[in-house]
Structures are given as structure tokens and as C-alpha cells.
Amino acid sequence: MHYLFTSIFLFSLFCKADEVSFMSYNLKNFLEMYTYTNGQKTGVRYKPDEEIEALVNVIAQANPDILGICEIGDREDLALLRKHLSKAGLQYDHIEYVKAADSVRHLALLSKYPINANHSKTDLFYSIGKTKFPLRRGLLHVELKVGKDSIHALGVHFKSKRPVDYADESMMRLKEAYLARDVVDNILKDNPDVKLFIYGDFNDSYKSEPISAIKGHYRSKVRLEPLQLKDTRGEYWTHYWSWERNYSVFDYVFCSRSLFPLVDINKSYIIDTKGTEIASDHRPLLVTFKLGKDK
């Protein structure tokens, strides 16, 4: 009997080592922001303590091996987040932080697995008419070493749907999607079998042009497959805009055709645990990959 329990325990450890979990999360302004009254700056505010506490609890309950985040502030804000996570029992020793043209909101990735290579880009530009625009949040791109596997992880945060007076917001997202897709194509063109995923807040609906651009042609060897994730109620929405009383699907994970079959869809979902409605206006995505086992 003792031998049986020992065998079961060792088998469970072996199986667990073959699973790698990834969370994509827009943190909703984990940073210092100005407050305005009648269009004038009146002070500054930080993400409220109750939101930070709820946010950390949501992440800690999921305990992802890799955490890709949007809307983190400066490096001090990232250090504060890591401190909170460490107190909750989550230790991430491998970090990528991307600060591009946007002076307020940035991208970051925290990983329990080593980052073998860093290819993040902060100097990508597109044109609308005669005007040149930067990819404001840049593009996070790292290669992660997970056991015998090398995985490319790319993170984005596209232009919001809030109108601006200097360009069409929907065209800005489409141009941003083209830039991200070009990076993906450059990775996959010589080797379509590369394991790759791109994630983040794309700020557009599933049938939109930017999302179609990210996916690519359905017959192409370099097409990216979207993960159709749901919450415990079978709902797909990832973002709630309280001002408009609007529920949307803005957050996605897309996988290369070599990585897509390695997704454990039964352990991949939209997190709707208690506190998600307090932590952020976005709900996090959790994806479990069946990889990482050493030979």
C-alpha cells in the first residue's frame, strides 16, 4: 500500500511538471495618475488599496507560472506589485519591462521560467495619411526556456476605443495590429513550427479588422489560432466599461499552429473568482500549456 501511494505521488509530480500556466491581465492603472476637474489637473491618485488587494488575491489564487500584464506604471510600480505578490507566496525571478512612447502605461512579463532572449520593440511606427505614429505601448517579446521547449511570448496593448482628435481610433488599432502581425510573420516565416503566442488587451471585438489581421489567413501555415475562453458561466466577455454599461471581449491569447494543440482547454478559462470585479475593469485569462517536460 505504501508503494502504491508513493507511485501515485511521483506520477502526479511528473504530470504537473508537464503543465505551464500563463495569465494575461490588464491591471487597470497600477500607477500614479493625475486627477482632473473641469479639464484642469487638480492632483494625483494611485490605484486604491482595495483594488490592489483584490488584484493580488486574484493572481495568487490562480498562481500562474508566467504573468503578462498591461497598465503597469514605472519600475517602482512593478517592484511594488512584485512585493505584494511575494507576500502572497508568488516569486517571479525573471522579468521583462517595456516602456515605449506612452509615458504612463507600460507592459511587463513576470516568469518563474528563465528568459533566454529579449526581442522587445519600442521603436515601431505606422502612418495614417502624412502623420507618423509610434506603437505607443511597444511590443513585449521574449523567448522563455521551459524544460526542453523554447516559447516565444509577445505582449501588446492597443489603442483604446476612446476617440482622440488627431486620428481615427479604429484605424490606429488596425495599424498597430499590422505592426504586431509583421513581427509574428518575421518569426514564423523561416520556421512555422516555432511555438509562439501573442496576448494582451487588443481593445477590439472578435470580428474586427485588427483581430482578423492578428489571426492571419485561415489556410496559412503562419496563422495564429485564437483561444475561445469562457468563464464559469459560459460567458466570453473580458472587459466591462461602467460609463457605457458595456461588456466586451477585448483580451485574447493567440497561438501558433505548433503551440495550439498543446493548450489544455479544460484548464484554460476567463477567471471570474471573487474580487475580479474590484481588482480591474478587465478579467484575466488563464491558459495552461502541456509542455515543459525535460527529456
DSSP per-residue letters across 182-208: HHHHHHHSS-TT-EEEEEEE--S-TTS
Segments in the chain below pLDDT 70:
1-17, 35-39, 41-42, 292-295
Q: What residues contact residue 6 under an 8 Å CB cut-off, 6+ apart?
A: none
Q: Which three cell numbers stand for residue 42?
A: 487638480
The H or E element that residue 52 is part of is helix 49-62
Q: What is the pLDDT of residue 211?
A: 98
CATH class of 17-290: alpha beta
Q: What is the pLDDT of residue 213?
A: 98
Q: What is the pLDDT of residue 293?
A: 56
Q: What is the pLDDT of residues 190-221, one digit of tens each?
A: 899 999 999 999 999 999 999 999 999 989 99
- At 114, is the secondary structure helix, strand, or coil? coil
Task: Please give the Cα distance from 273 to 275 (Å, whole number).
Answer: 6
Please choose, from the candidates 83, 96, 82, 80, the residue with its C-alpha nearest in 3D space to the C-alpha of residue 31.
Answer: 80
Pairing mode, if any, of strands 224-226 and 251-256?
Answer: antiparallel
Q: What residues contact residue 274 under an 8 Å CB cut-off, 6+ apart?
A: none
Distance of CA 107 to the CA centre of its chain: 9
Q: Which three cell numbers stand for residue 93?
A: 525571478
Burial environment of residue 70 by CB neighbours within 10 A (0 to 12, 13 to 18, 19 or more)? buried
Q: What residues contact residue 88 under an 8 Å CB cut-off, 6+ apart?
A: 56, 57, 59, 60
